[in-house]
Structure 1
Amino acid sequence: MAETETETRLIQGRYRLLEVIGRGGMGEVWRAVDESLGRRVAVKCLKPAGQPQGDAGFTTVLRERFRREARVAAALQHRGVTVVHDFGEYEGVLYLVMELLEGHNLSQLLDRNSGRPLAVPEIVDIAEQVADALAYTHARGIVHRDLKPANIMRLGDGAVKICDFGIARLGQGVGLSSRLTGVGIAMGTPHYMSPEQIGGGEVDHRSDLYSLGCVLYELATGVPPFDHEDAWAVLVGHRDTVPSPLRDHRGDIPAHVDRIVRDLLAKSPDERPADARELRRRILSDGRSATAGPAPLPAWTRGMTAGHKALPTGLRTVLPDHTAGLTGEWTTTVDPRGALPPRPATGGTRPAPAAALLAQLATRHGAGLSLGRLGRWEEAGEVHRAVAAEREHVLGADHPDTLASRYEIGFSLGRTGRAEDALREFTRVADGRSRALGPDHPDTLAARQETAYVLGQLARHFEANDVYTAVLAARERSMGPDHPDTLRCRHNLAFNLSRLGRLEESLRMAAGVAAARTRVLGGDHPDTLVTRYEVAYALGRLGRWTEALDAYRDVASARGRALGPDHPDTLAARYEVGISLGRLGRGAEALELYRALVADRARVHGPDDPETLRARHGIGVNLGRLGRWDEALAEARDVSAARTGALGPDHPDTLVSRREVAVGLGWLGRWDEALTVYREVATARERVLGLDHPEALASRNDEAHCLEQLGRPAEAVELYRRVAALRERRGTHGRRAPS
């Protein structure tokens, strides 16, 4: 079929193919329009549209593997990984719908630079962003296996994205590489293959790190580490030869960059950085120490102006978010996806802004995203507020670019504990996107879902439930019940239901999501394990501790396999195993588990990390369960002092430990001392949480019980009456009394 004829052809009656923008061994990539949502996309056809099919057996295997790998790719949601919108089969052609990236791959960048190497700051920035993306995908058990300059895109705003995750692995096991390329070698591109790939050995995430080393070597020198025309000579070089140092090619390469690339190119995987997270840490920390100053901004931010400072009014600080992460990784929403601009709401026309100004704003938006990646959320918020103000002035309040900046403002506010202000910002973005893109557009639904998440942070769970329910219905209608975004929304709704006390509903929904994620993503996928963790939590809340114990143990074991034994999520599941053991009266087993967990937490995160102290608290609780109250009291006092120093005297965790001190004193018959501590805890909770907060009321009950033990029944009865009156008022008004 000629390209002029194909221009009018629709894939699935929705994706209109416009022009071929790339060809390779895996097929063709087309520039296309998603006519249902009115946005430009890229459509990758696994075999050229209109070409005859190959043998039936091979096609059947390929089709099944494609579906499995496409689901994996669609589940990846990170700013450094190409977004996959949809996939399927049409008239015998397997297709993948992705965001349309406006920029150049690294091979094209080198070509545009006449083969000359890139500037050092640009190389370092690319390395940091690719390492960040690899850390995310490797944590989910995904290895790319074909990382090369052509699979890494540099966008116009400076962002870097890895392409072909999942799809790059299709050839393994079905001989696709040799069938499509005619080269009978292992999967991968010879100039960037690791020694273990060449030798047919076991390949893990460290193979991607070797390939990244090859890419960085080429960016720094203009040629790959083994630049031979003969493919066999290239493979032998990877296997047997140590490449010459970067500084032998150019003297301006810093020593730490040379050292990092040399380590990445180690022949043995054990001699390379342990993982991409460690690599990124080295890139950032080595670069910072080399410059003897604060962390530098990426090279592409040079020459930028700060813009006009635009601050919202009435910002106030609320308690920090300790439950972040349920909505998954935040993603870049600036317009590389190619959303079509809306018509002016007034029916008039807005003068077209200068292309140079729009490019500058896009660059500054990218700088804000980079600051966020570094955890510098206050600065990121400043940048996004300034860019949003200027974009609104030149593009309008409801333009997708303006709303993209406001969306990032919402994230920055949420990350700095300003939940009320984040809610206002996300609400504004959701309303604007609904007008500009439609109420069921994925970007609109993403903003609405963030409003629900922030409502949950603010303990406004009834309102959050209404928003989640509406968003879920829209996602199921437009995306289908098993789309990763649909499942994420259902997971969040299940979480919110448990906070409303609707535990049976929460358990049923979480179990359904876990089953769907197992079917779509696999049983050990991190998203599946998050939902299985929520199932275990609901079982525990329902008192079904034996089932909860089994579920937590399964999650801990699977996370250990998928993420590693020291990953925070693995350690969190082990902590919950200890809780379950304690609830079942198996204190000795719980004590042994917590001692091992404390040792691992202290080794990985340090002795004063809040999670290390949480595990130490578990040691004290289970010593008490075993009747070893002198030891339990000593442990509670040590943990209380450590939490006071690390978290502050009024932090909820500190107050829990101080209460445990009072419990130990009571069991040892030292009721006068216990009364003093109980009163201190009750006073602090009333000051922080309010007079009728359940924890404050529980503390006053503790105090009354202590008075009874001291033979002061009149005071105890009066305090019990006061607590009962406050509980009744809370039940009548449905809200907390003022502090």
Structure 2
Amino acid sequence: MGTRLDIQEFVKDYCRGLKDRDLLVKYGLNPKELIGVVRRLINDGHISKDQYFDRNRVIQEIEARQEKDFLKSLYHCPVCSHIHPTAFTICPACGIDVTKESIPDPGLQAVESESSNDTALVIIPEKEKVPQDPVAIAPEPLMTSPPAVPAQPVSEPVPEESFPEEVQDMIGIPLEQVAFSDETPEEISQGSYNLVEILEHSAGSTLFSALDSYDGERPLLNVRVFHLEDTEDGIVSEFMEKAFAYQFAMRDANILKVYGKTFVEGKPTLVYEHMPSNLESLLKSTQDGISLDLFMELLPQLLNAVGYSHMHRGADGVARRLPHGALSPRKFLFDPDTNTVKLDECGIWKALVEVRGFKRRMFEEPEVDPANLAPECFVLDSKFVNHFFADIYALGTTLYRLATGKCAFKAAEIEEYRFAHLKTFPVPPRVHRWQIPAWLDAMILKCLEKELSQRWRSATQMEVTIGKSFT
């Protein structure tokens, strides 16, 4: 460290909640030096453990207030509940002219707080004027040294020919006692279904297609069976209720619609509208990525799906922010007949964490592909990760794969992925495929920035810059 540090002033700034990035600028430190300074001041008794934890609590409270202000600053479509950072007359999601729609005035709208220390509902006047340029706030990392990650094999998506025997044995099982929602079409709710095909499998869940045994012309449902063997029975039921509630409240053309819930061989199961494949299957037929015409057709849908999940007002009138936690090409379901994309498993990770707690780090979660994990997920405990920014990073790896046919980061085990995400930078997509426009190349690379503050603030922000040059 080249400058002399005023210990009293530093301790005063640190304990009053000055954020890490502000401390770096004020005292001319780099992140490694800052960690060393704080650790030494704690060891020497200048900063007590109580002061250390109080400082983190103060920062969390500040960020919670800023998050609530951010929620207040957004505009929403009265028809489809799409939420946008700036005022609009034509809804970007449903295309409705909102100036011609009769907007219901229920009085006050309830907005669900996402702060871990404040689960109350924040009441926001619907007609309140708000600023047009909200800024999402990224949380500060805790002052701890990065723990070593044990080397372990990567859990890759399972090839079709090697599905576990117990999963293959589920084919042909009938769906019984399905609790369909009231909004399920009658021709769907009155059917009698059997599991007929495995669409996708991982350690955490299996996605099947289900066929009506009385009308066997085509599959009519997607069925996701969750494997939660290490979870208590009471928690499983609570998980089911929360996951279904989150998904049932979502109304968007690019979000997979949930129809009902049941149990298959004692495993919690959600029943959805049918989508025949996913983007991972689409990539198997090409080595250079999907056609650019198809990519440009799918890109607004991908961004809308993630943006809607991250910020939406549900059918129940509650505005929610739901990080996905496991974005990858496998989670975007695809209909080749209509070129429609729908995001699967929205709210699943949040529901599981709420009932189970943060028992695992992100790279230990069974649904997560480490090729798509943000660098901070290898350093911080899950509860300290800003999962919205981590989703943006995973969205970047997904777009990279779709555009080039190659993984932005490829490795054989967790420790190699950790090094790749933390220390290396991806080859620009245009190097692999020169036809990729410059704005798209820059958009993808901005998603993959190591620093949270350098990434896109939201998928909605990405959506409004499609086709535009930016720096």
TM class, shorter-chain normalised?
0.5 to 0.7
Residue of structure 1 in register with 2:324 after alignment: 144
Contact preservation (8 Å) 1:27, 1:44? yes
Distance 1:235 1:63, change over 3 A: farther
1:209 matches 2:209:
no
AA in 2 matched with 1:167: I
Please tell me whether Structure 1 or Structure 2 has the larger radius of gyration of its CA atoms.
1
Cα distance, 1:209 vs. partner?
A: 1.3
In structure 2, how many angstroms separate the alpha carbons of the residues matched to 1:130 and 1:178?
28
Distance 1:2 1:91, change over 3 A: closer
In structure 2, how many angstroms separate the alpha carbons of the residues matched to 1:120 and 1:96?
34
* SS of alignment partner, residue 409 of structure 2: coil
Distance 1:237 1:87, change over 3 A: same
Contact preservation (8 Å) 1:12, 1:90? no
AA in 1 matched with 2:257: V
Q: 61, 65, 83: which one pairs with 2:257? A: 83
Instruction: Summarize the alignment of residues 466-545 of structure 1 with structure 2, pairs less than 5 Å apart.
Output: none
* SS of alignment partner, residue 20 of structure 1: strand
Residue of structure 1 in register with 2:292 after alignment: 120
1:108 matches 2:260:
no
Residue of structure 1 in register with 2:209 after alignment: 31
Distance 1:175 1:237, change over 3 A: farther
Cα distance, 1:138 vs. partner?
A: 1.2
Instruction: Summarize the alignment of residues 523-602 of structure 1 with structure 2, pairs less than 5 Å apart.
Output: none
AA in 1 matched with 2:424: T
Q: 412, 436, 440: which one pairs with 1:257? A: 440
Cα distance, 1:41 vs. partner?
A: 1.0
Contact preservation (8 Å) 2:222, 2:273? yes
In structure 2, how many angstroms separate the alpha carbons of the residues matched to 1:283 and 1:257?
8
Q: 156, 160, 176: which one pairs with 1:11? A: 176
CA displacement, residues 15-41 of structure 1 (integer Å, 9 cap, x when unaligned): 522313233222333322468999821
Cα distance, 1:172 vs. partner?
A: 3.5
In structure 2, how many angstroms separate the alpha carbons of the residues matched to 1:151 and 1:164?
7
CA displacement, residues 567-613 of structure 1 (integer Å, 9 cap, x when unaligned): xxxxxxxxxxxxxxxxxxxxxxxxxxxxxxxxxxxxxxxxxxxxxxx
In structure 2, how many angstroms separate the alpha carbons of the residues matched to 1:2 and 1:128?
35
CA displacement, residues 436-461 of structure 1 (integer Å, 9 cap, x when unaligned): xxxxxxxxxxxxxxxxxxxxxxxxxx
* SS of alignment partner, residue 206 of structure 1: helix
Instruction: Report the TM-score, using the length of structure 2 for normalisation.
Output: 0.52
In structure 2, how many angstroms separate the alpha carbons of the residues matched to 1:21 and 1:214?
25
Contact preservation (8 Å) 1:84, 1:99? yes
CA displacement, residues 95-130 of structure 1 (integer Å, 9 cap, x when unaligned): 10101113x3121111112x3222223223322211
**Higher RCO structure, 1 or 2 (CA under 8 Å, sep 6+):** 2
Cα distance, 1:214 vs. partner?
A: 0.5
Distance 1:66 1:268, change over 3 A: farther
Distance 1:15 1:232, change over 3 A: farther
In structure 1, how many angstroms separate the alpha carbons of the residues matched to 2:203 and 2:167?
20
* SS of alignment partner, residue 269 of structure 2: strand
* SS of alignment partner, residue 94 of structure 1: strand
In structure 2, how many angstroms separate the alpha carbons of the residues matched to 1:44 and 1:83?
12
Contact preservation (8 Å) 2:324, 2:347? yes
1:198 matches 2:373:
no
AA in 2 matched with 1:19: V
In structure 2, how many angstroms separate the alpha carbons of the residues matched to 1:3 and 1:227?
29
Q: 340, 354, 379: which one pairs with 1:159? A: 340
* SS of alignment partner, residue 147 of structure 1: coil
In percent, how many aligned pairs have the same letter?
23
Distance 1:170 1:279, change over 3 A: same
Residue of structure 2 in register with 1:70 after alignment: 244
Contact preservation (8 Å) 2:175, 2:195? no
AA in 1 matched with 2:346: F
Residue of structure 2 in register with 1:675 after alignment: none
Cα distance, 1:186 vs. partner?
A: 8.8
Distance 1:86 1:226, change over 3 A: same
1:20 matches 2:201:
no
In structure 2, how many angstroms separate the alpha carbons of the residues matched to 1:25 and 1:186?
5
CA displacement, residues 180-203 of structure 1 (integer Å, 9 cap, x when unaligned): x9x746973200111232222322
Distance 1:36 1:26, change over 3 A: farther
Distance 1:122 1:85, change over 3 A: same
* SS of alignment partner, residue 282 of structure 1: coil
Contact preservation (8 Å) 1:197, 1:203? no
* SS of alignment partner, residue 124 of structure 1: helix
- Aligned-pair RMSD on alpha carbons? 3.3
AA in 2 matched with 1:166: G
- Which shows bigger deviation, 255-264 or 84-93? 84-93
Distance 1:284 1:256, change over 3 A: closer
Whichever structure has more strand as a proportion of its residues is: 2
In structure 2, how many angstroms separate the alpha carbons of the residues matched to 1:42 and 1:272?
34
Say how many residue pairs are matched.
277
* SS of alignment partner, residue 76 of structure 1: coil
Whichever structure has more helix as a proportion of its residues is: 1
* SS of alignment partner, residue 283 of structure 1: coil
Distance 1:3 1:186, change over 3 A: closer
Contact preservation (8 Å) 1:218, 1:224? yes
Cα distance, 1:258 vs. partner?
A: 0.8
Residue of structure 2 in register with 1:224 after alignment: 407
In structure 2, how many angstroms separate the alpha carbons of the residues matched to 1:187 and 1:91?
21
1:46 matches 2:211:
no
Distance 1:249 1:28, change over 3 A: closer
CA displacement, residues 152-205 of structure 1 (integer Å, 9 cap, x when unaligned): 1221211111111122445546389979x9x74697320011123222232232
* SS of alignment partner, residue 29 of structure 1: strand
Distance 1:118 1:207, change over 3 A: same
Distance 1:95 1:240, change over 3 A: same
Contact preservation (8 Å) 1:33, 1:40? yes
AA in 2 matched with 1:97: V
* SS of alignment partner, residue 78 of structure 1: coil
Contact preservation (8 Å) 2:170, 2:195? no
* SS of alignment partner, residue 234 of structure 2: helix
Distance 1:273 1:229, change over 3 A: same
AA in 2 matched with 1:118: I
CA displacement, residues 664-692 of structure 1 (integer Å, 9 cap, x when unaligned): xxxxxxxxxxxxxxxxxxxxxxxxxxxxx
AA in 2 matched with 1:194: A
CA displacement, residues 439-493 of structure 1 (integer Å, 9 cap, x when unaligned): xxxxxxxxxxxxxxxxxxxxxxxxxxxxxxxxxxxxxxxxxxxxxxxxxxxxxxx
* SS of alignment partner, residue 397 of structure 2: helix
In structure 2, how many angstroms separate the alpha carbons of the residues matched to 1:93 and 1:244?
42
Contact preservation (8 Å) 1:43, 1:95? yes
